[in-house]
């Protein structure tokens, strides 16, 4: 990859930190190596399902989310049996796009779909799915896109520090010809009708089911959630996704998509008031849904309008109960639309949570400031240089960030006011000094909350040196 080549040239004049960062990038690329061969290297019994592949890290079966860039950020894909929660953006433009990508991926791979919505008829949702990009059409589109990127890149090389060249661009490679995992979609075209008709899907449209009778218990959930859970459970049981039906020879994945969960259209008032009566309905629903998913071959995507939920505790509970959480923040109508930094992008994407499945550690990408854009046909996710020195924080000890550039400081954009050698020297000095000082006050949040206030090295307090544990004194027992 291009970044690995740049690592060799750029690492000439720097200290040991550069080498460490370079090494990490090389190993991370080695980790991604087996991905190219994809399904060939997996074990035979897991690969037998179309559109899935085992994870490189822990052997977990993964399905694609429909966006190869998002797959890469989530560590290869979405694990089967887990929930992907998408926190919607304000006008629900891009989250519904991600929802459709997920369903379109299911149709291409031949998975069974279950679409649940309280707003649109599932049949209408399926008509609006984006068309897959075929190899011959999109190759030339990709080439011109890559060329457009090349010229601004060479200018940026001069301005920013060498380290930024090492950070990988998200997903610049074009579609693989034998793409059995992760396809690209053209958001401006519709999926051909025959593909939709060939696919197997189940729809749950809540207004239709309002009047139907059903079993009265259990009463612990609101009506909409209860019916949806029973519908999902019926489909799983009857189609044999949980392995209980021995006659089903062909294993397949069930892709469940639930749109706008938690909105008032489902009969839940969690978005309307702060103290609602049924505040536990949504969380209970998520818990039982996860129980259903864990015992069957299915993956679920849920879009939830969390910006409408007034009770912050519910949002944190919902996040804890889901496996993967991705938040979208679009720039439409906000002040950032006119910010020259964001002029190419349509919004920010935050990866809030990634599950640790079957493992103590998990695949987390190193870049945290990600933005997405919908460029003519493709949805790409790229790293945006928002806070220039934010990446520096990775190597400095905690307590050092007061020296880093704050968000709206007087420093101009595109320039560094100090040399990196001085910063690395200061880092080592402060690491040594911070061991001598006890930081005991809790750190408060200042300003926008984007950067937490960090404590500086306090060597003098009230004219005296503060008590120094560790090196100079024996800790009281």
Taking the complex as a whole, the smallest distance from the CB of residue 161 to another protein amounts, in Å, to 18
CA distances from 309 to 97, 276, 313 (A): 21, 11, 10
Q: Is 101 helix (H, G, I), strand (E, B) or coil?
A: helix
Which CB sits closer to another protein, 125 or 166?
Answer: 166
Longest CA pairwise span in the chain (Å):
81
Which CB sits closer to another protein, 145 or 366?
Answer: 366
Measured distance CA(52)–CA(64) in Å, rounded: 7
Sign, CA dihedral 402-406-410-411, equals positive
Taking the complex as a whole, the smallest distance from the CB of residue 430 to another protein amounts, in Å, to 8
CA distances from 264 to 87, 163, 300 (A): 16, 47, 21
Q: How many residues does the chain have?
A: 477
Which CB sits closer to another protein, 412 or 476?
Answer: 476
Which CB sits closer to another protein, 129 or 286?
Answer: 286
Phi/psi at 393 (nearest 5 deg)?
Answer: -65, -20
Taking the complex as a whole, the smallest distance from the CB of residue 225 to another protein amounts, in Å, to 11
Taking the complex as a whole, the smallest distance from the CB of residue 272 to another protein amounts, in Å, to 18
DSSP sequence for 237-304: HHHTTTS--TT--S--PEEEEE-STTSGGGT--TTT-SS-TTTTHHHHHHHHHHHHHHTTTEEEEEEE
Chain residues that interact with another protein, rule: CB under 8 A: 20, 24, 58, 81, 217-220, 229-230, 233, 280, 283-284, 287-288, 290-292, 294-295, 312-313, 315-317, 320-321, 356-361, 364, 366, 368, 390, 393-401, 427-428, 431, 434-435, 443, 445, 451-452, 454, 470, 475-477
Measured distance CA(230)–CA(61) in Å, rounded: 26
Taking the complex as a whole, the smallest distance from the CB of residue 286 to another protein amounts, in Å, to 8
Q: 213-227 burial by CB neighbour count: b if 16+ within 10 A, else e?
A: eeeeeeeebbbbbbb
Measured distance CA(240)–CA(238) in Å, rounded: 5
Which CB sits closer to another protein, 173 or 359?
Answer: 359
Taking the complex as a whole, the smallest distance from the CB of residue 360 to another protein amounts, in Å, to 5
Which CB sits closer to another protein, 84 or 196?
Answer: 84
* Residue reference for tokens 């998408």: 86
Which CB sits closer to another protein, 306 or 330?
Answer: 306
Taking the complex as a whole, the smallest distance from the CB of residue 6 to another protein amounts, in Å, to 19
């Amino acid at each position: 990859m291009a970044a690995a080549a740049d690592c060799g040239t750029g690492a000439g004049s720097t200290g040991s930190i550069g080498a460490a960062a370079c090494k990490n990038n090389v190993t991370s690329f080695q980790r991604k190596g087996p991905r190219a061969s994809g399904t060939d290297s997996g074990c035979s019994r897991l690969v037998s399902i179309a559109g899935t592949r085992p994870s490189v890290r822990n052997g977990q079966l993964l399905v694609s989310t429909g966006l190869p860039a998002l797959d890469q950020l989530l560590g290869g894909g979405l694990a089967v049996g887990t929930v992907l929660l998408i926190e919607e953006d304000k006008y629900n433009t891009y989250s519904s796009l991600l929802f459709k990508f997920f369903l379109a991926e299911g149709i291409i791979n031949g998975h069974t779909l279950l679409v649940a919505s309280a707003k649109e008829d599932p049949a209408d949702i399926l008509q609006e799915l984006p068309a897959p990009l075929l190899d011959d059409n999109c190759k030339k589109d990709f080439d011109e896109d890559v060329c457009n990127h090349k010229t601004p890149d060479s200018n940026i090389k001069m301005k920013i520090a060498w380290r930024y060249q090492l950070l990988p661009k998200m997903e610049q490679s074009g579609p693989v010809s034998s793409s059995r995992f992760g396809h690209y979609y053209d958001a401006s075209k519709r999926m051909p009708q025959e593909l939709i008709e060939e696919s197997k899907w189940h729809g749950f449209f809540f207004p239709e089911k309002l009047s139907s009778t059903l079993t009265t218990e259990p009463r612990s959930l609101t009506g909409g959630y209860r019916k949806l859970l029973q519908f999902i459970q019926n489909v799983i049981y009857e189609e044999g996704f949980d392995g209980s039906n021995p006659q089903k020879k062909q294993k397949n994945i069930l892709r469940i998509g639930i749109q706008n969960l938690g909105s008032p259209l489902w009969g839940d008032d969690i978005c309307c008031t702060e103290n609602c009566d049924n505040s536990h309905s949504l969380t209970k629903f998520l818990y039982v849904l996860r129980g259903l998913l864990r015992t069957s071959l299915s993956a679920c995507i849920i879009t939830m309008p969390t910006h409408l939920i007034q009770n912050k505790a519910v949002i944190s509970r919902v996040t804890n109960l889901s496996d993967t959480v991705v938040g979208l923040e679009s720039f439409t109508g906000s002040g950032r639309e006119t910010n020259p930094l964001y002029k190419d992008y349509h919004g920010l994407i935050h990866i809030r949570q990634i599950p640790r499945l079957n493992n103590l550690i998990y695949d987390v990408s190193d870049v945290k400031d990600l933005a997405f854009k919908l460029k003519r046909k493709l949805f790409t996710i790229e790293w945006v240089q928002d806070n220039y020195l934010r990446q520096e924080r990775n190597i400095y000890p905690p307590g050092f960030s007061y020296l880093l550039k704050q968000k709206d400081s007087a420093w101009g954009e595109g320039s560094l006011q100090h040399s990196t050698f001085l910063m690395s020297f200061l880092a080592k000095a402060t690491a040594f000094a911070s061991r001598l000082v006890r930081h005991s006050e809790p750190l408060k949040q200042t300003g926008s909350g984007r950067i937490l206030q960090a404590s500086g090295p306090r060597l003098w307090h009230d004219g005296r040196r503060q008590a120094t544990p560790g090196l100079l004194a024996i800790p009281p027992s």
